[in-house]
Amino acid sequence: MQQIIVINSLFGIILLWLCILSFYLYKLISRYKNLLKGIDKDSLTSVLEKVLKDIDLDRKDIETIISKVDDLEKRSVFYIQKVGIMRFNPFSDTGGDQSFILAILDEMDNGVVISSLHTRGITRWYAKNIESGKGLNYDLSKEELEAIKNATTLKKKNRRN
């Protein structure tokens, strides 16, 4: 009697083990069929070779993208990156801060400062070239220096965020 119980238990364990193995074999076969889907009687080797070729093409594309990004980073030093504006009232007979100074600079603090001076009857515009944060051919006013300072400090604040 005990032998029958042991044999039945052993048979049950073997049957359970066989079910587990069958399940994993079914999953493996279905994955293999999915891998070969769309392939006309080719071997697994040809499928893997195709995958490796695709990976090689992707690697070349990634290298191209990286080189383009590096080129953009090198050129971006010369793009407008810092902009500062300052409004002010240079004359006591006009109301409000109608005059302004706009500083437009690249990464190296080169660019232009545009000043607009507004009076009751006329508005005048002036532009000065900037190199390394200083006026190239003309001295800068304190307001123009302040606009440049605003542009450079704003860029530094944006870098931290």
**Distance in angstroms (rounded) separating the CA atoms of residues 132 and 109:** 5
Residue with tokens 């070729």: 53
Q: Give the 3-state secondary structure of 47-86.
A: HHHHHHHHHHHHHHHHHHHHHHHHHHHHHHHHCCCEEEEE
**Region 35-48: what's the mean pLDDT?**
70
**Distance in angstroms (rounded) separating the CA atoms of residues 54 and 38:** 16
* pLDDT for res 88: 85
* pLDDT for res 133: 84
Read off the pLDDT of residues 115-155 as tens digits, 9 standing for 90 and up: 998 887 788 999 999 998 888 888 888 889 889 888 888 65
The angle at the Cα of 126, spanning 105 to 80, to the nearest 5 degrees, equals 15
State CA 104 to chain mean position distance. Answer: 23
* pLDDT for res 78: 87
Read off the pLDDT of residues 62-108 as tens digits, 9 standing for 90 and up: 999 999 999 999 988 888 889 989 888 877 766 677 889 999 999 88
* pLDDT for res 161: 52
Q: Domain ranges in the chain?
A: 1-35, 39-77, 79-160
**Distance in angstroms (rounded) separating the CA atoms of residues 18 and 2:** 24
* pLDDT for res 93: 65
